[in-house]
């Protein structure tokens, strides 16, 4: 590995730590517009695009979380960006996400017993909670790691 | 019996219980699917909350809350904590994949809210329990 | 009695006039990982601990030790 690889990994790692919580905010904001907008089950092309956009964003964010990003960088840079400490942070983020998703499931289940909720709406909410929790936790842990004593 | 031997036995017991619980949970999701008795507010409808809450709680702390400090520490040692973290990651992936599948399937056939939530939570927890049981059993 | 981990990684690194980045490069991890080990936030694997000791020319025991509360 060259010095450039280390510098690139350092720079990209810091960027990732800053951006992930922002992605969480963007993602949740997109969900807010989904729930406050008109009912998406009208079958119009624009509704299909909105749903597709959410699906694509969810999958992309999950891939970023699972792989650490840097997809177009060299193997050496990716290895440095996903070293031991980052792997531990990722596992912790997924642990957080699991519990966030389960809590969301339980809360929505309780609400669903008394109020009518759409099947797709609850899935939106559960996935949003889980993905956002993972992004925020991962970002926080990575940022803490870069903070000097 | 020493604490080490006791912890070893408990760990194997825990793995077996978790594997069994995962299967029971998956079977329950299947049985309760589209059954109106389990969709209404009441003991049957509410029982799912207890089940999910209980297993989520056990996955969070590893169980054995009534045990003495040292025995509990042996039961939830470094390797066990690592196994649990890996299991929870798999549980999250499983929950997300099931959620996406329900979302897409909902276009062709309507899936009730309760059923969707049971599939996602039951599937996620089952996957986590099975993975944890497998890792604990295989590495002992 | 709960056990913690103390480390003298920062002292050993400073003695050899190495930056965190330089040490990271020597052992093949990111600078962030060295930082979290020094701050006691991250417990390195045995492999990483051995690599650090080798890079600094000292024993693992001189870098890391158990503390008792």
**Segment 50-69 of chain C within 8 Å of chain A by CB:** none
Please tell me the predicted confidence (pLDDT) of residue A40: 52
pLDDT band with cut points at 50, 70 and 90 for residue B140: low
Residue pointed to by tokens 């599937």: B123
Count CB atoms within 10 A of the CB of residue B128: 29
| A101:B56 CB<8 A | no
Whether the CB of A59 is below 8 Å from some CB of chain C: the reply is: no
Please tell me the predicted confidence (pLDDT) of residue A42: 61
Summarised one tens digit per residue, pLDDT across range B47-65 is 889 999 999 999 998 887 7
DSSP characters for chain C? Answer: --EEEEE-HHHHHHHTT--HHHHHHHHTS-HHHHHHHHTTS-PPPHHHHHHHHHHHTS-HHHHEEEEE-
Per-residue pLDDT, averaged over A58-83, amounts to 91
Per-residue pLDDT, averaged over C10-16, amounts to 95
Give A95 to chain C, closest Cα distance, Å. 17
Per-residue pLDDT, averaged over A88-94, amounts to 94
Nearest to C33 among A3, A84, A148 (CB): A84
Distance CA A38, CA A57 (A): 20
Per-residue pLDDT, averaged over C23-34, amounts to 89
Say yes or no: domain C3-57 is CATH 1.10.10.10.
Answer: no
Enter the tokens of residue A133: 């929790």
Total domain count, chain A? 1
Q: Which domain holds residue A47?
A: 3-146
Residues of C in contact with A88 (CB under 8 A): 42
Q: Nearest-CA neighbor of B81 among B123, B127, B135? A: B135
DSSP characters for chain B? Answer: --HHHHHHHHHHHHHHHHHHHHHHHHHHHHHHTT-GGGTSSSHHHHHHHHHHHHHHHHHHH-S-TTS-HHHHHHHT-HHHHHHHHHHHHHHHHHHHHHHHHHHHHTTTS---HHHHHHHHHHHHHHHHHHHHHHHHHHT-
* Residues B70-88: b if buried by 16+ CB within 10 A, e if exposed: ebbebbbeeebeebbbbbb
Query: Which of A40-44, B103-107, C22-26 has the weakest average pLDDT?
Result: A40-44
Whether the CB of A85 is below 8 Å from some CB of chain C: the reply is: yes
Residue C1 has pLDDT above 50, yes or no: no
Summarised one tens digit per residue, pLDDT across range A2-46 is 778 999 999 999 999 999 999 999 988 888 776 666 655 566 777
Residue pointed to by tokens 């040692």: B77
User: What number is the ipTM of this complex?
Assistant: 0.91
**Length of chain C in residues, anyone?**
69
Q: Phi then psi for C66, rounded to 5 degrees? A: -85, 140
Per-residue pLDDT, averaged over C27-48, amounts to 90
With contact defined as 3+ CB pairs under 8 Å, the chains touching A are B, C
Residue A82 has pLDDT above 80, yes or no: yes
Please tell me the predicted confidence (pLDDT) of residue C46: 93
Summarised one tens digit per residue, pLDDT across range B17-32 is 999 999 999 999 998 8
């Amino acid at each position: 590995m060259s010095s450039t690889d280390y510098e690139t990994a350092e720079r990209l790692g810091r960027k990732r730590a800053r951006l992930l919580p922002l992605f969480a905010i963007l993602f949740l904001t997109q969900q807010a517009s989904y729930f406050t907008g008109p009912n998406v089950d009208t079958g119009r092309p624009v509704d299909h695009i909105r749903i597709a956009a959410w699906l694509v964003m969810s999958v992309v964010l999950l891939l970023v979380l699972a792989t650490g990003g840097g997809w177009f960088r060299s193997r050496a840079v990716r290895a440095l960006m996903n070293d031991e400490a980052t792997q531990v942070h990722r596992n912790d983020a997924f642990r957080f996400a699991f519990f966030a998703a389960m809590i969301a499931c339980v809360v929505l289940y309780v609400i669903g017993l008394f109020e009518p909720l759409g099947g797709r709406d609850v899935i939106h909410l559960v996935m949003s909670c889980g993905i956002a929790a993972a992004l925020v936790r991962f970002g926080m842990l990575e940022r803490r790691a870069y903070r000097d004593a | 019996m020493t604490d080490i031997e006791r912890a070893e036995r408990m760990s194997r017991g825990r793995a077996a219980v978790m594997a069994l619980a995962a299967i029971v949970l998956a079977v329950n999701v299947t049985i309760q699917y589209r059954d109106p008795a389990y969709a209404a507010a009441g003991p049957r409808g509410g029982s799912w909350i207890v089940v999910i809450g209980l297993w989520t709680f056990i996955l969070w702390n590893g169980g054995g809350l009534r045990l003495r400090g040292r025995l509990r520490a042996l039961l939830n040692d470094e390797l066990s904590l690592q196994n649990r973290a890996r299991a929870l990651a798999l549980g999250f992936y499983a929950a997300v994949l099931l959620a996406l599948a329900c979302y897409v399937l909902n276009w062709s056939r309507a899936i009730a809210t309760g059923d969707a939530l049971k599939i996602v939570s039951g599937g996620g927890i089952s996957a986590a329990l099975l993975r944890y049981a497998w890792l604990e059993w295989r590495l002992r | 009695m709960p056990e913690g981990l103390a480390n003298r990684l920062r002292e050993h690194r400073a003695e050899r006039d190495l930056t965190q980045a330089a040490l990271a490069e020597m052992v093949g991890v990111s600078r962030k990982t060295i930082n979290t080990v020094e701050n006691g936030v991250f417990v390195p694997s045995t492999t990483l601990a051995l690599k650090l000791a080798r890079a600094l020319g000292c024993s693992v025991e001189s870098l890391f030790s158990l503390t008792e509360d």
